[in-house]
């Protein structure tokens, strides 16, 4: 039985036609009664709403944000499949961030959850809409519902040859009550799900016509550049306001205090364009009273907390210590937000992953009721978890309020990096006791990381049969801010685990792939995945021929991913990644091309962090603040990538945006060892003066 929070409702669409969604209709009516005029009847926080308009167009509204991961295309395929809508009639929009009715799922895009959590809901809503349209057509023709079929945005009655387009039926169908549990199409009848389709909106991305957050413009708009305190609680030591105001094109200089952890003390320079604002701020930078954070000192504290006993290998036990640095998101579009703040209301155009949190915190910062704040979501130029934080939106809204005019706040790349919410620096010691036949008896992991929340996904729960298991987390304090980064805990913990398992396999005299297969006994999906990776790479023959292959397995975020890297080394020990091969199982595949794109992007994202990326502080100052110092993977360094997709229709649908990231670093590290004999137990995978040859 549906609960009151998952009730399907039907109503007339504002543009004329049929709207079907999921939520609590009473909440929708109350919200509309009290909503600002600009948002009355507008699509809002229901995670799934489909509108069939009189002209035959079908608009799908969702609470998901398009970050370049192709989620809106997947949503169109899921909804269009059950609705039997013509592909050319479909469009998808992220709804405005006003919760116009109660919703079981709010505005949130992250954790590889988007398709996973809404797959069933969108199918149900679309199936209900289809049922209403069929019921209306059958009533007009005076025939039974089961005599009708749907295809290409129309209801057909084959016996009489009659056909009615959805647009002609929509308005009348809106007066009917939707079925709460409509029948879903069998997999054998699918025509959209499982195909590599592209929405027409994709053309705008290729031609440059797409309007990103950085492209938003309003009448009377001013543009702000900002310099912000390097740490929460840091204070402004000196600012030459007169010199700033004397810079060419500067209109205003605004100082904001840091009210909470959400935003920090800020100096904003407003001009008619971003170039003049940024040039002025660069010429006359504010001086901050900052802390003395030092990542070299922090590394020593992490190692002391995680690794008493260090790296050792004996006949019956293997133990090793691993490290990862801070890394930042480095999304291509720097953080930006446009805000218009009135006396009683506000609008923000925010490239965010969390519209509801944005609305809540902006309203709080401005002293407005939540319902008075509307959040618009433009095209987003990458997020990777950074846009789960709303500091940049709150700061922009406060600047616009202080300016008394619409303001677009654009962070420089250096400011974006300096204000990062980094993947946490961490260290870990893993130990495995083996019996006389090289089989695991007891596994221990001790992880030291930044912050009190245990960061153990990828180590706990453990996919492998490693005997008795004990996993501990030791928190270490630091003023350096951290946050979710693409694949979150698995990013570092899978590096620890999969590097370590290679060391254990070699100590046990076993092949790394075969050893993992044995440790995954009773998990047929995982074993099938590894077997396919062995076939794809020609694993056994390739290793006998001397090719340096390394592999790793990831099992988080609802999907399974196995990855092999091949490394080529020269006589001097220099090496490069020659190719990467991936096998993935995410249950049901909605869009194969989208899955491949996400795996390729995830592999390159993980490879960039594995080979190059590291955030360092020295005496409280950030060292690599821009792309000249914080190196990301270049096109010339990108190896060929092969992606093989397995399906498990009986399994729950899995996430795909992050699963390709965690196995990359350990697979490359394992391949480097195979090629050079050097075991690199830290990221980025660069030599250190101490070495670590085994």
Q: Which of 103-112, 273-282, 496-505, 581-590 has the lowest mean pLDDT?
A: 103-112
372-404 CB burial, b ≥16 within 10 A, e <16: bbbbbbbbbbbbbbbbbbbbbbbbbbbbbbbbe
Asked if residue 8 has pLDDT above 90, the reply is no
Q: What is the pLDDT of residue 108?
A: 85
Greater model confidence, 105 or 181? 181
Do the two domains 7-195 and 213-291+335-410 of this chain adopt the same fold? yes
Average pLDDT of the chain, as a whole number: 90
Helix (H) / strand (E) element for 525: namely helix 524-537
Q: Which of 25-29, 178-182, 250-254, 293-297 has the lowest mean pLDDT?
A: 25-29
Q: Please, which pLDDT band fits residue 2 given cuts at 50, 70 and 90?
A: very low
Percent of the chain with pLDDT over 90: 78
Q: Please, which pLDDT band fits residue 94 given cuts at 50, 70 and 90?
A: confident
569-596 CB burial, b ≥16 within 10 A, e <16: beeeeebebbebbbbbbbbbbbbeebbb
Q: State the sign of the Cα–Cα–Cα–Cα dihedral 14, 18, 19, 25.
A: positive
H helices, E strands: number in the chain: 17, 28
Per-residue pLDDT tens digits for 541-551: 999 999 999 99
C-beta separation of 296 from 656 below 8 A: no
Asked if residue 4 has pLDDT above 70, the reply is no
Cα-Cα-Cα-Cα torsion 126, 127, 130, 136, nearest 10 degrees, comes to: -120
Asked if residue 15 has pLDDT above 90, the reply is no
**Assigned fold of 7-195:** Aldehyde Oxidoreductase; domain 4 (3.30.365)
Q: What is the pLDDT of residue 98?
A: 53
C-beta separation of 94 from 213 below 8 A: no
Asked if residue 45 has pLDDT above 80, the reply is no
Per-residue pLDDT tens digits for 581-594: 999 999 999 999 99
Per-residue pLDDT tens digits for 449-461: 998 889 999 999 9
Q: What is the pLDDT of residue 39?
A: 27
Asked if residue 38 has pLDDT above 90, the reply is no
- Token code pair at residue 515: 């050893």
Asked if residue 692 has pLDDT above 50, the reply is no
- Token code pair at residue 40: 């009355």
Residue 40 preceded by cis peptide, ω within 30: no
* 321: Cα within 13 Å, side-chain hemisphere: 17
Q: Please, which pLDDT band fits residue 16 given cuts at 50, 70 and 90?
A: confident
Q: Which of 200-204, 410-414, 602-606 has the lowest mean pLDDT?
A: 200-204
Q: What is the pLDDT of residue 302?
A: 97
- Token code pair at residue 233: 């609680």
Asked if residue 205 has pLDDT above 90, the reply is no
Among all chains, which residue has been given the structure tokens 């044995």?
518
Q: Please give the average per-residue pLDDT across 531-546, as a whole number.
A: 96
Query: What's the CATH class of domain 307-327+422-676?
Result: alpha beta
Q: Which of 233-237, 299-303, 331-335, 417-421 has the lowest mean pLDDT?
A: 233-237
Q: Please, which pLDDT band fits residue 191 given cuts at 50, 70 and 90?
A: very high
Per-residue pLDDT tens digits for 608-660: 999 999 999 998 889 877 888 899 999 999 999 999 999 999 999 999 999 99
**According to CATH, what is the number of the domain 213-291+335-410?**
3.30.365.10
Asked if residue 671 has pLDDT above 80, the reply is yes
Q: What is the pLDDT of residue 534?
A: 98
Strand partners, 320: 430
Per-residue pLDDT tens digits for 120-171: 989 999 999 999 999 999 999 999 999 999 999 999 999 999 999 999 999 9
Among all chains, which residue has been given the structure tokens 């699509």?
43
Q: What is the pLDDT of residue 103?
A: 46
Q: Which 8-state DSSP code applies to residue 682? A: B
Q: What is the pLDDT of residue 623?
A: 85
Q: Please, which pLDDT band fits residue 498 given cuts at 50, 70 and 90?
A: very high
Region of residue 334 (left: phi > 0; alpha: psi -120 to 50; beta: else): beta
Give, in degrees to the nearest 5, the angle at Cα 466 between 463 and 467. Answer: 125
Q: What is the pLDDT of residue 46?
A: 53
C-beta separation of 334 from 387 below 8 A: no
Domain ranges of the chain: 7-195, 213-291+335-410, 307-327+422-676
Asked if residue 99 has pLDDT above 70, the reply is no
In angstroms, the CA 15 to CA 21 distance is 16
Among the residues of 230-329, which ranges form H helices?
241-245, 274-283, 295-306
Q: Residue 283 to residues 250, 286, 583: CA-CA distances in angstroms?
A: 12, 10, 51
Q: What is the pLDDT of residue 105?
A: 53
Asked if residue 28 has pLDDT above 60, the reply is no
Cα-Cα-Cα-Cα torsion 216, 218, 223, 227, nearest 10 degrees, comes to: -60
Q: What is the pLDDT of residue 693?
A: 43
Q: Please give the average per-residue pLDDT across 193-201, as a whole number.
A: 92
Q: Please give the average per-residue pLDDT across 669-689, as a whole number.
A: 92
């Amino acid at each position: 039985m549906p609960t009151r929070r998952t009730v399907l409702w039907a109503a007339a669409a504002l543009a004329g036609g049929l709207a079907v969604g999921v939520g609590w209709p009473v909440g929708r009516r109350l919200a509309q009664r009290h909503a600002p005029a600009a948002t009355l009847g507008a699509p809002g926080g229901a995670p799934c709403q489909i509108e069939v308009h009189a002209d035959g167009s079908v608009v799908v509204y969702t609470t998901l944000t398009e970050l370049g991961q192709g989620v809106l295309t997947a949503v169109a395929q899921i909804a269009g499949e059950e609705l039997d809508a013509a592909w050319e009639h479909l469009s998808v929009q992220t709804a405005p961030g006003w919760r116009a009715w109660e919703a079981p799922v709010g505005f949130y895009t992250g954790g590889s959850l988007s398709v996973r959590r809404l797959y069933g809901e969108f199918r149900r809503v679309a199936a209900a809409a289809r049922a209403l349209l069929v019921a209306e057509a059958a009533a007009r023709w005076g025939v039974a519902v089961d005599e009708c079929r749907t295809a290409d945005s129309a209801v057909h009655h084959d016996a009489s040859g009659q056909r009615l387009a959805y647009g002609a039926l929509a308005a009348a169908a809106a007066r009917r009550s939707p079925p709460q549990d409509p029948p879903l199409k069998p997999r054998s009848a699918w025509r959209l799900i499982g195909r590599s389709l592209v929405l027409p909106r994709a053309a705008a991305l290729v031609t440059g016509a797409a309007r990103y957050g950085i492209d938003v413009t309003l009448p009377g708009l001013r543009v702000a550049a900002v310099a912000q305190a390097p740490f929460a609680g840091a204070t402004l030591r000196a600012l030459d306001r007169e010199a700033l105001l004397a810079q060419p094109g500067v209109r205003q200089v605004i100082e904001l205090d840091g009210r909470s952890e959400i935003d920090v003390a800020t100096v904003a320079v407003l001009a008619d364009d971003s170039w003049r604002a940024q040039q002025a701020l660069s010429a006359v930078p504010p001086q901050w009273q900052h802390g003395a954070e030092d990542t070299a000192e922090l590394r020593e504290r992490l190692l002391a907390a995680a690794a008493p006993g260090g790296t050792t290998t004996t006949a019956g036990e293997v133990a090793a210590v691993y490290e990862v640095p801070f890394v930042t998101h480095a999304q291509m579009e720097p953080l930006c937000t446009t805000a218009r703040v009135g006396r009683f209301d506000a609008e923000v155009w925010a490239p965010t992953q969390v519209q509801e949190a944005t609305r809540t915190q902006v309203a709080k910062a401005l002293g407005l009721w939540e319902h008075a704040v509307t959040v618009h979501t433009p095209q987003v130029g990458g997020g990777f978890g950074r846009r789960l934080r709303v500091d940049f939106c709150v700061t922009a809204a406060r600047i616009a309020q202080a300016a008394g005019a619409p303001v677009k706040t654009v962070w420089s790349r250096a400011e974006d990096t300096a204000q990062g919410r980094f993947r946490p620096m961490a260290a870990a010691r893993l130990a495995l006791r083996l019996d006389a036949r090289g089989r695991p008896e007891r596994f221990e992991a001790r992880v030291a990381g930044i912050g009190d929340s245990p960061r153990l996904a990828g180590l706990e729960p453990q996919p492998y049969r490693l005997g008795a298991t004990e996993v501990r987390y030791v928190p270490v304090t630091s003023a350096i801010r951290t946050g979710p980064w693409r694949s979150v805990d698995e990013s570092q913990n899978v590096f620890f685990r999969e590097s370590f398992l290679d060391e254990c396999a070699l100590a046990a005299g076993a092949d790394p792939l075969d050893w993992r297969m044995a440790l995954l006994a009773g998990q047929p999906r995982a074993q099938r995945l590894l077997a396919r990776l062995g076939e794809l790479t020609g694993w056994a023959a390739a290793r006998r021929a001397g090719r340096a292959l390394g592999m790793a397995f990831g099992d988080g975020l609802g999907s399974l991913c196995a990855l092999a890297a091949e490394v080529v080394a020269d006589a001097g020990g220099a090496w490069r990644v020659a190719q990467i091969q991936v096998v993935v199982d995410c249950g049901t595949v909605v869009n194969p091309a989208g899955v491949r794109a996400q795996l390729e992007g995830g592999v390159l994202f993980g490879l960039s962090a594995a080979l190059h990326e590291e955030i360092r502080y020295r005496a409280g100052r950030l060292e690599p603040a821009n792309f000249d110092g914080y190196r990301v993977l270049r096109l010339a360094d990108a190896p060929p990538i092969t992606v093989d997709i397995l399906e498990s229709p009986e399994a729950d649908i899995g996430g795909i945006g992050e699963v390709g990231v965690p196995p990359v670093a350990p697979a490359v590290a394992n391949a480097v060892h195979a090629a050079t004999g050097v075991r690199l137990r830290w990221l980025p995978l660069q030599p250190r003066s101490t070495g670590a040859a085994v």
